[in-house]
Amino acid sequence: MKFLCANDHLPDACSRGFELDGVKLFAVRRNQQVYVYANRCPHRGVALEWQPDQFLDQSASLIQCATHGALFLIEDGECVAGPCAGQSLTAIPCREDQQGVWVQL
């Protein structure tokens, strides 16, 4: 497992982008649970954000691709609206402890 960030660097209902060992990732915390995905839209293979750390829609309830507006569930990365409906983001195994968030690349 590789260290991603301290717990307080990812507040609830927020997202952050990271690059770890050359892999672009992003993490979202929702209801005190952390979810980590590869930062790559399944439709075009592009990064999801236009602005740093902006991966969520305005309601902070879905992940949104800035390129074409596809919407993904935070809990499992499934696309629920947009050109890649039915596809999913690539989940990155993670865990959290007192030190912070850890990922398995």
7 φ/ψ angles, rounded to the nearest 5 degrees = -55, -40
**Domain covering 2-103: architecture:** 3-layer Sandwich (2.102)
Query: How do residues 47-104 score in pLDDT, each as one tens digit?
Result: 999 899 999 999 999 999 999 899 999 999 999 999 998 999 999 999 999 999 999 9
Q: What's the rounded Cα separation, in Å, for the pair 99 and 7?
A: 7
pLDDT of residue 44: 85
CB 64 within 8 A of CB 50: no
pTM of the model: 0.96
**Region 29-42: what's the mean pLDDT?**
96
The burial of 76, by beta-carbon neighbours within 10 Å (0-12 exposed, 13-18 middle, 19 or more buried), is given as exposed
Residue 27 tokens read as: 């993490």
Confidence of residue 41 (pLDDT cuts 50, 70, 90): very high
Query: How do residues 8-26 score in pLDDT, each as one tens digit?
Result: 999 999 999 999 999 999 9
Residue 65 tokens read as: 């691709």
Residue 90 tokens read as: 């690539």
pLDDT of residue 31: 95
